[in-house]
């Protein structure tokens, strides 16, 4: 399992924004330059984060991007779910998926424990802690 480049960019964007004083904004161009993310790709990533309610965007000369939530309330798991969708090691672990083998499948139980550990680890540090704000 490997996170996508877009998920990596989303994490980097969120860390950059978490380091800003509350209420300040950065333009996509500034984020692109600081994080060396292609601006076109960055704009798509910002749209995804905005739809997930993690960032606010504002157009215009004083516009830009800022966090929509306090960085103490956001985790890596939140960012990855916003970009990738539900975190699941296998399709059988996706909420709502019905597998006929589930009741007797020993592999499912092992993967479920592993997924729980992964989600727990991705949720244990806030964006503020990771950004050293």
Series of mean pLDDT values for 10-residue runs along the chain (133 residues): 90 96 92 94 96 94 92 96 92 87 88 94 96 78
Q: What is the pLDDT of residue 104?
A: 87
Q: What is the pLDDT of residue 102?
A: 79
How many CA atoms are closer than 13 Å to the CA of 73, on its beta-carbon side? 7
Q: What is the pLDDT of residue 41?
A: 92
State if pTM tops 0.75. Answer: yes
Q: What is the pLDDT of residue 99?
A: 85
CA dist 114 to 46, 57, 110, Å?
A: 30, 36, 6
């Amino acid at each position: 399992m490997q996170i996508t480049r877009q998920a990596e960019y989303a994490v980097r964007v969120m860390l950059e924004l978490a380091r800003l004083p509350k209420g300040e904004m950065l333009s996509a161009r500034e984020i692109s330059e600081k994080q060396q993310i292609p601006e076109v790709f960055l704009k798509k990533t910002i749209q995804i984060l905005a739809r997930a309610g993690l960032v606010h965007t504002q157009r215009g000369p004083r516009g830009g991007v800022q966090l929509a939530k306090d960085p103490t309330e956001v985790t890596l798991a939140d960012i990855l779910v916003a970009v990738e969708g539900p975190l699941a090691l296998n399709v059988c672990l996706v909420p709502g998926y019905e597998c006929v083998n589930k009741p007797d499948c020993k592999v499912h139980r092992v993967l479920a424990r592993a997924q729980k550990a992964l989600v727990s680890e991705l949720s244990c540090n806030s964006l503020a802690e990771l950004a050293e704000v």
